[in-house]
Amino acid sequence: QKEVEQDPGPLSVPEGAIVSLNCTYSNSAFQYFMWYRQYSRKGPELLMYTYSSGNKEDGRFTAQVDKSSKYISLFIRDSQPSDSATYLCAMSVSSGANSKLTFGKGITLSVRP
Amino acid sequence: DTEVTQTPKHLVMGMTNKKSLKCEQHMGHRAMYWYKQKAKKPPELMFVYSYEKLSINESVPSRFSPECPNSSLLNLHLHALQPEDSALYLCASSQAWAAVYEAFFGQGTRLTVV
Shortest Cα–Cα distance, B92 to chain A (Å): 9
Could you give the CA distance from residue B83 to residue A51 in angstroms, rounded to a whole number? 40
**B30 at interface of A, judged by CB pairs closer than 8 A:** no
pLDDT band at B62 (very low <50, low <70, confident <90, very high): very high
Report H helices in chain B: none
Which residue in chain B has the smallest CA separation from A42? Answer: B107
Is B50–A101 a contact, with Cβ atoms under 8 angstroms apart?
no
The shortest C-alpha distance from A109 to chain B (Å) reads 13
Summarised one tens digit per residue, pLDDT across range B36-56 is 999 999 999 999 999 999 988
Percent of chain B whose pLDDT exceeds 70: 98
Which strands make up the sheet holding B4-7, listed edge to edge?
B4-7, B18-25, B73-79, B64-70
| Residue partners of B62: CB distance under 8 A and separation at least 6 | none
CA distances from A12 to A7, A43, A51, A62, B100 (A): 13, 22, 29, 19, 31
pLDDT given at position B1 = 61
| Burial degree of A68 (CB within 10 A; 0-12, 13-18, 19+) | exposed
Q: How does pLDDT run across A23-40, given as a tens digit for each residue?
A: 999 999 999 999 999 999
Give the minimum alpha-carbon distance from B91 to chain A in angstroms, rounded to a whole number.
Answer: 9
Q: Decide which of A19 and A94 is more confident.
A: A19
